[in-house]
Every structure is written in C-alpha cells, then in structure tokens.
C-alpha cells in the first residue's frame, strides 16, 4: 500500500509546488533511501556477493605482488608501516616525504628486510619538483604500485605557520588535494603507456561525514573519494587498478600530537602496522575500497547516506562534543 501511496503523494506535491516543499524534503530523503536500498542496493549486493564468491573459489589468477613501489608520506605513520610491510628482497621502494632524517630511518628498516630503497626528499605541494622526482624515479624503476598517501591534518582552528586558519585553505589544499592528484596523474600517465599498474589513494572516514573541527580536511578527503571512484573507471581499460584506502582512527604522528582536533580515546585507535597488513592483502586481490577499522568505516559510511538535515545535526553534535570534551575551539 505504502509503495503506491507515497510515490503518488510525492508526485502530487511536486506537481502543485513545482518542487517538494522543504518541510517534506528530509522525510522523503529518508524514505527514498529505504526504497532504493530495499529494491536496488540489497538485491544488487546479493548478486555481487554471489559473483565474488565464484571468483574466490574458481579464480586462478595469482595475487598481485608489486616489486617497484612508490610511497608518498613514507617518513612516518601509515606510509612508513606500508614501506616496512612491503619490504623484502627483490622489492624497490621509493620513499617520498619532506623529512630526510625520518625517511632514512624508515629506509634502514626496509633495507634490513632485504629491500632496496631510494629516498625522495620532496614537498608534494611543490608540483614541479614533485613531478620531476616521480618521473626520474619512474625512468629508473617503472612504478608498479603508487601510494598517494601524504597528508596533513588540518584543524579548523590551526594556523598554517604564519597563515591564519581562515586563510590556510590554500596550503592545505595544495598538500592534501593538489599534491595527491598530481602524484597520481604523473604516475598514471606512465602506467597508461605501459598498460599496467596499481594506484592506491589514501582518503579518510572524515571524507564520508563532517566534523566541523576539520572542515578543510574533510572536504579534501571527500574530493579524493570522488576522484578515486572516477579514476577507477577511467583507468580500467589500461589495466591500471585504482583503490581507495579509507582509514579510521589510526595511531600515528598525525593523531598522537597534543591538541589534535578531537578527544583522544585510546581504545578507538588502531595500529598503522595492522592497517598496512590489511592494505597489502586487499591490494593483492585488487579490492577498490579498503576501509579499516571496518566498523568505524561502516558507521561513517551509513551516516553519509542519511538525509542532509540529519547529517547537519550529526555535524553539530560532533562539533559541540569535541568543543566541550576536548577543550578545542571549533570556531575562533
Ligand atoms: N592517522 C589517522 O587516523 C588517519 C585517518 C584517516 C586518514 N589518514 C590519512 O593517512 C595518511 C597518512 O597519515 P598518517 O596518519 O600516517 O600521519 P603522519 O604520520 O603524520 O604521516 C603523514 C605523512 O605525510 C607526509 N607529508 C605531510 N605533508 C607533506 C608534504 N607537504 N610533502 C610531502 N610529504 C608530506 C609526512 O612527512 P613529512 O612531514 O616528513 O613531509 C608523513 O610522512 C594521510 O593522508 C592522512 O590524511 C590518517
């Protein structure tokens, strides 16, 4: 009955008002999501599950095992853990970041495990030197797997050096968005000529929902989510596989530093080394969306499908919660 009545009400309202009056929009968004999930998303998910099950049992393809890997943001945290996870004899690692000393320490650990390492001391917001470094590395060692992983947490109240936070969108965009897109596109062009490769882009659960404490950061991660989905399609005919890595709360320099823009609840944080293991395994099977810790991802992903006004409520609650409990000032 509802299946017939609700669409008729929506059509009549739309006909008479030339739109759906705002007072009805939130409830209709919620109903629309339910309908779309029951009649489309769930049946299609079941079909995909059955298809994937077949692949798991009958696929004879060997897992992908890249030997030349370039990691941006390799001097600490997730990037450093990835470097150590992939390090073994026969593997060549390009380790890119700004801090040479930290990169050297990561390289030493990887060399101990048998890998060959090259350090690229580069600021990814300097596109010219970034592109040159990537092309020079790729000339010597054709990159098989790129991790576009470098990033900086941009708190809404944090200044960027001398730049006040209200004006700091540009440097943060240059690092978190432009620098990552530039890394990807430079390597993508080379992989396209070779007709093979893997590209993994690190986003965040912050890309699914908004916490006002990290407004610039969330929007750039959302943009990376969207970019990775589109590039997945564009790159496929060239045998280039694109993946989107969506970490939840991971214990790294980014989240451990005092004054971070959300209260630090130790039990919620997971280790970067464990994340690197999950990433390596799932990339070996060419999984597109690698989200871990899984339930943090699931919750944020679900919230992102809620009607817009409910998302605003969540954003408001999170802003207030963080301001009160973490003694952070969302708005200065
Ligand atoms: N930790 C989390 O909970 C979490 C959650 C979701 C997503 N992420 C994402 O995961 C990625 C890695 O972060 P992380 O948690 O491992 O933090 P991290 O330990 O602070 O590592 C960030 C890396 O990015 C590099 N980097 C920053 N700015 C750079 C620049 N301008 N040019 C070149 N390299 C630069 C840093 O090296 P230098 O400072 O030496 O340049 C460092 O190697 C980021 O994209 C982050 O947004 C993290």
Per-residue model confidence (pLDDT) at position 214: 86
Per-residue model confidence (pLDDT) at position 199: 98
Scan for tokens 């990537």, then name that residue. Answer: 134
Record the tokens describing residue 44, joined without a space. 């299609």
Q: Is residue 73 in contact with ligand 1, taking CB distance under 6 Å?
A: yes
Angle (deg, nearest 10), helices 2-17 and 22-36: 140
Atom of ligand 1 nearest to the CA of 150: 24
Atom of ligand 1 nearest to the CA of 176: 45
Q: Is residue 151 in contact with ligand 1, taking CB distance under 6 Å?
A: yes
Q: Is residue 30 in contact with ligand 1, taking CB distance under 6 Å?
A: no
Domain ranges of the chain: 2-57, 66-325
Count of residues in the chain = 332
CA of 110 to the centre of ligand 1 (A): 19
Name which residue sits closest to atom 43 of ligand 1, judged by CA: 73
Q: Is residue 297 in contact with ligand 1, taking CB distance under 6 Å?
A: no
Nearest to 141 by CA among 222, 68, 56: 68
Q: Distance between CA atoms of 165 and 127, rounded to whole angstroms?
A: 23
Name which residue sits closest to atom 23 of ligand 1, judged by CA: 73
Q: Is residue 218 in contact with ligand 1, taking CB distance under 6 Å?
A: no
Residues 309, 26 contacting (CB under 8 angstroms): yes
CA of 317 to the centre of ligand 1 (A): 27
Q: Is residue 253 in contact with ligand 1, taking CB distance under 6 Å?
A: yes
HEC profile for the chain? CHHHHHHHHHHHHHHHHCCCCHHHHHHHHHHHHHHHHHHHHHHHHHHHHHHHHHHHHHCCCCCCCCCEEEEECCCCHHHHHHHHHHCCCCCEEEEEECCHHHHHHHHHHHHHCCCEEEEEECCCCCHHHHHHHHHHHHHHCCCCEEEECCCCCCCCCCCECCECHHHCHHHHHHHHHHHHHHHHHHHHHHHHHHCCEEEEEECCHHHCCCCHHHHHHHHHHHHHHHHHHHHHHHHHHHCEEEEEEEECCEECHHHHCCCCCCCCCHHHCEEHHHHHHHHHHHHHCCCCEEEECHHHHHHHHHHHCCCHHHHHHHHHHHHHHHHHHCCCCCCC
Instruction: Please list the alpha-helical segments (H only) found in 18-159.
Output: 22-36, 42-58, 77-86, 100-112, 127-140
Q: Is residue 93 in contact with ligand 1, taking CB distance under 6 Å?
A: no
Per-residue model confidence (pLDDT) at position 235: 98
Q: Is residue 100 in contact with ligand 1, taking CB distance under 6 Å?
A: no
pLDDT along the chain (332 residues), means of 10: 82 87 92 93 96 86 93 98 98 98 98 98 98 98 98 79 81 94 98 98 92 88 97 98 97 82 79 98 96 95 94 87 65 49
CA of 72 to the centre of ligand 1 (A): 9
Atom of ligand 1 nearest to the CA of 75: 43
Residues 170, 255 contacting (CB under 8 angstroms): no
Per-residue model confidence (pLDDT) at position 332: 45
Q: Distance between CA atoms of 151 and 97, rounded to whole angstroms?
A: 10
Record the tokens describing residue 314, joined without a space. 């969540």
Scan for tokens 């077949």, then name that residue. Answer: 54
Q: What is the tens place of the pLDDT at every residue in 195-205?
A: 999 999 999 99
Question: Is 113 buried (19+), middle (13-18) or exposed (0-12) by CB count in 10 A?
Answer: middle
Atom of ligand 1 nearest to the CA of 254: 20
Q: Is residue 261 in contact with ligand 1, taking CB distance under 6 Å?
A: no
Per-residue model confidence (pLDDT) at position 257: 74
CA of 80 to the centre of ligand 1 (A): 10
Q: Distance between CA atoms of 259 and 153, rounded to whole angstroms?
A: 12
Per-residue model confidence (pLDDT) at position 196: 97
Q: What contacts 60, CB < 8 A, 6 or more positions away?
A: none
Which residues on adjacent β-strands are paired with residue 247? 292
Q: Is residue 152 in contact with ligand 1, taking CB distance under 6 Å?
A: yes
Residues 258, 214 contacting (CB under 8 angstroms): no
Name which residue sits closest to atom 25 of ligand 1, judged by CA: 73
Q: Which helix (H) or strand (E) holds 215?
A: helix 215-235
CATH 3.40.50.720 fits 66-325, yes or no: yes
């Amino acid at each position: 009955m509802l299946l017939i009545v609700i669409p008729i009400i929506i059509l009549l309202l739309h006909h008479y008002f030339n739109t759906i009056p705002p007072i009805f929009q939130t409830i209709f968004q919620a109903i629309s999501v339910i309908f779309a999930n029951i009649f489309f998303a769930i049946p299609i998910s079941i079909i995909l599950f059955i298809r994937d099950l077949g692949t798991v049992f009958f696929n004879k393809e060997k897992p992908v095992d890249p030997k030349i890997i370039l990691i941006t943001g390799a001097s600490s945290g997730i990037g450093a853990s990835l470097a150590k996870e992939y390090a073994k004899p026969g593997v060549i690692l390009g380790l890119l970041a700004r801090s040479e000393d930290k990169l050297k320490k990561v390289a030493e650990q990887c060399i101990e495990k048998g890998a060959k390492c090259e350090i690229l001391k580069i600021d990814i917001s300097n596109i010219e030197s970034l592109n040159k470094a990537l092309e020079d590395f790729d000339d010597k060692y054709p990159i098989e797997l790129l991790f576009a992983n470098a990033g900086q947490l941009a708190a809404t109240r944090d200044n960027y050096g001398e730049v006040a936070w209200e004006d700091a969108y540009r440097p943060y965009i240059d690092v978190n968005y432009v620098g990552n897109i530039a890394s990807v596109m430079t390597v993508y062009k080379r992989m396209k000529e070779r007709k093979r490769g893997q590209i993994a882009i690190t986003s965040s659960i912050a890309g699914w929902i908004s916490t006002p404490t990290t407004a610039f950061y969330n929007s750039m991660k959302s943009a990376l989510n969207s970019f990775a989905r589109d590039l997945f399609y564009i790159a496929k005919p060239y045998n280039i596989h694109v993946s989107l890595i969506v970490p939840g709360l991971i214990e790294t320099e980014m989240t451990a530093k005092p004054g971070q823009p959300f209260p630090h609840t130790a039990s919620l944080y997971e280790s970067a080394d464990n994340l690197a293991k999950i990433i390596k395994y799932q990339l070996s099977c060419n999984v597109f969306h690698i989200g871990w810790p899984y339930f943090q991802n699931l919750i944020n992903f679900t919230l992102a499908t809620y009607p817009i006004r409910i998302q605003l409520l969540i954003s408001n609650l999170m802003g207030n919660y963080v301001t009160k409990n973490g003694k952070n000032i969302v708005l200065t």
